[in-house]
Amino acid sequence: MTHQIKNKIESLVKQLNEHNYKYYVLAQPVIEDYDYDMLLKELQQLEENYPEYISPESPTQRVGSDLSEKFKTVEHRVPMLSLSNTYNEEELYDFDRRVRDGLPENNEVEYVAELKIDGASISLTYENGYLKNAVTRGDGTTGEDITVNVKTIRSVPLKLNPNAFEKLGANTIEVRGEIFMEVEAFRKLNHERETNGEKLFANPRNSTAGTLKLLDPKIVTKRPLDIFVYYLLSPDFDFENHSSNLDHLRDLGFKVNKHFRLCKEIKEVVEFCRSAEELRDSLPYEIDGVVIKVNSVKQQKTLGSIAKAPRWAVSYKFKAKQAITVIRDIVWQVGRVGTVTPVANLEPVLLAGSTISRATLHNIDEIYRKDIRVGDTVRIEKGGDVIPKVVSVVEDKRPSNSVKVTPPDNCPVCGEKLFKPEVEVAYYCVNTVCPALVKGSIIHFASRTAMDIEGLGERIIEIFVDKSYLRSYADIYQLDKYSNEIKEMEGFGEKSMDNLLAAIETSKAKPFEKVLFAIGIRYVGSGAAIKLADHFGDIDKLISATEEEIEEVPDIGPSISKSIKLFFSEDKNSEVITRLKSYGLRFKSEKAEPLSDLFNGKKFVLTGTLSGMTREEAKERIMNYGGSVVSSVSARTDYVLAGEKAGSKLEKAKKLGVAIINEEEFNNMTEQ
Ligand code: IVH
């Protein structure tokens, strides 16, 4: 009986994976979605009853059940280099010359020209045919292990085609490629986010990168990510050439972009670049250039790399797309933290497949520098971001009566006088009860990346603020006072109110770092909030810390520490925090108790390379014993843990007389 079940599970996994491949890699489905879902359901049920038969390549394993805490860092076996750029044909000929100069005389050189996909690069390692891990590029030397998220991408094989893998004769292979989101899918996602009052992604690349860093793979699986792979390597041996590697990759079950060309000479590369630029707008995904690679792996090795880029490959960057239009009006918008930004309303014009009617003008200095005026005919450009910018003014088309732009004296929303810090170019509204600021801070507080209160999106918040149900984000937790009024609102029945109140209640359980991010201290983004929460563990400790103490937290500099001190010095903010505390929000980290108090209150600085553990492991151990790790050495540092090749921090520690310990001593102290 169980034998039969095992066979049945195996057969379902096989069938489903074949359908997956046909649907997601080949884009040629052979069954209806409904039939696929039925097969998947059957498999899920069997696996639930017989978990011992769950195999790693089962399609049910694409979304694990665990939330990843934080991603582990992993060192790349071979660094993930970036590419030098070329911007015109001349530079491509220069590249060809450099390649030839770097190779023995009479060496024939072939190139492979491919599309440069505009997404996030990823390294996939397969061992014995199974996906072992997926690591981001990071700084090129070490990246983050985001396997849980990459597994959700249906076009990433969890298991390679066994025949093709066997033929390669390698145990381990590494495959590199680009994860991306199609433009249409990106637009849809942004549209949904707009409806929910969430911050919009600037472009498909940002939404890809943002999605891959999400800590909940269940959200990732709902986002339409895809992959093209473009590089194959193995620690076991060298392959022969890149073009046959692309064939191998396709045979192994990967999606390889079909637009590439094996070129016998650089002239063909130039032709490919021209046709790729023409193809650009008709593709469903974004590309930002062409990548040109020397085909022979042997020649690649001879050429080697300089600093951060290989000598055997280069990218050809497309020119940014431009259009000409007229500025109808210049308006000043007030952002979440009060920044007043000029925006140009344009005569609608088609640019890179979408109609553009607004462009950011950044700040008044930018307007002065380019002398932009209402009525001007301007050249606009779409760079990497979705919001286009004004590049220059077509001066001979300027109307004779045009006047120079002047910044507003008063806030366009509340009318209060604007403030301009001397060191900045921006103007700010500093009126804490300005509706624009109040709305902005509540929208941020409730957004998905902060307190994640479903149902409390941008539009609803605007209405609630206009009706004075909300005057600050703390009022969210007393919204039930207005239940009756809200239920009467159009499109807002009993059920939505109940759901909203439930979502508000749930948000009280959000961890401290989310709360710290949500309260909207200027410059404290989600990353900084995590580090601060990690270090201080308690808002009261953060409030009483000095600027210097705050700057001891890795990656936290003076602008953040000053901003934190300023935030807590305002009575209005302290009152809001007190209120939020009384509603039960978390202002303390729920950290595991330290194993012992060996390092209680002691500050460590790590420097150099440790041999038996990573820095993260050392940090964890220090924290387990009640200590903390800070980034720079000062007289208040208790210990410097110095590994191999320790540099200036070690010198400083010696000068200041700080205790220096090596890895062995550290191990002895911690009895490891
Ligand atoms: S090859 C040494 N091929 O462009 C080989 N890269 O600036 C380097 N990219 O980080 C990568 N499409 O994320 C290669 N067909 C393609 C690519 C591609 C996009 C990205 C990749 C890399 C960056 C290089």
Give a yes or no: residue 592 inside a domain: no
Residue 116 annotated to the active site: yes
- What is the rounded average pLDDT of the residues 46-65? 83
For residue 579, is pLDDT > 90? Answer: yes
CATH number (domain holding residue 121): 3.30.470.30
Residue 27: pLDDT band by 50, 70, 90 thresholds? confident
* pLDDT 10s digits, 456-515: 988 899 999 999 999 999 999 999 999 999 988 877 778 888 899 999 999 999 999 999
Residues 663 and 570 in one domain: no
User: 464: which residues sit within 8 A by CB, 6+ positions away?
Assistant: 470, 479, 486
- What is the rounded average pLDDT of the residues 107-117? 96
SS3 225: strand
Q: Which of 14, 41, 70, 116 is catalytic?
A: 116
Residues 558 and 638 in one domain: no
2 alpha carbon – ligand 1 mean position (Å): 48
Residues 313 and 327 in one domain: no
Check pocket membership of 179 for ligand 1, CB cut-off 6 A: no
* Single residue among 275, 290, 317 that ends a domain in this structure: 317
Q: What does pLDDT average to over the chain? A: 90
Among 102-106, 313-317, 525-529, name the most confident range: 313-317
Q: Which two tokens stand for residue 559?
A: 């602008």
Q: Which two tokens stand for residue 555?
A: 């990656």
Give a yes or no: residue 587 inside a domain: no
Q: How many domains does the chain have?
A: 6
- What is the rounded average pLDDT of the residues 641-652? 88
Note the pLDDT of residue 200. Answer: 79
Q: What angle do CA 74, 75, 80 make, to 5 degrees?
A: 115
Give a yes or no: residue 427 inside a domain: no
Give a yes or no: residue 69 inside a domain: no
Give a yes or no: residue 68 inside a domain: no
Say if CB 117 and CB 258 are below 8 A apart.
no
Residue 383: pLDDT band by 50, 70, 90 thresholds? low
Note the pLDDT of residue 647. Answer: 81
* pLDDT 10s digits, 171-226: 999 999 999 999 999 989 988 887 776 777 878 888 999 999 888 888 889 899 99
* pLDDT 10s digits, 330-350: 999 998 778 999 999 999 988
Residues 354 and 230 in one domain: no
Q: What is the pTM of this model?
A: 0.61
Q: Which two tokens stand for residue 189?
A: 């996602």
> To test the ligand 1 pocket, which listed residue (175, 178, 272) has its Cβ within 8 A of the most ligand atoms?
178
Residues 415 and 547 in one domain: no
- What is the rounded average pLDDT of the residues 253-276? 97
For residue 145, is pLDDT > 90? Answer: yes
- What is the rounded average pLDDT of the residues 338-363? 88
* Single residue among 61, 91, 110 that ends a domain in this structure: 61
Kindly report each contact of residues 571-574 with a partner whose C-beta sits within 8 Å and lies 24 or more positions away, as own/partner. Answer: 572/432, 573/519
Residues 22 and 132 in one domain: no
Give a yes or no: residue 611 inside a domain: yes
- What is the rounded average pLDDT of the residues 376-396? 85
Residue 672: pLDDT band by 50, 70, 90 thresholds? low
- What is the rounded average pLDDT of the residues 566-581? 93
For residue 21, is pLDDT > 80? Answer: yes
Q: Percent of the chain having pLDDT more than 90?
A: 62
Tell which atom from ligand 1 comes closest to the C-alpha of 115.
15
Check pocket membership of 118 for ligand 1, CB cut-off 6 A: no
Residue range of the domain that includes 396: 322-419
Q: Which two tokens stand for residue 172?
A: 């381990």
122 alpha carbon – ligand 1 mean position (Å): 10
Lowest mean pLDDT among 386-390, 442-446, 483-487, 631-635: 386-390
Distances 138 to 172, 234, 385 between C-alpha atoms, Å: 22, 20, 21
For residue 68, is pLDDT > 60? Answer: no
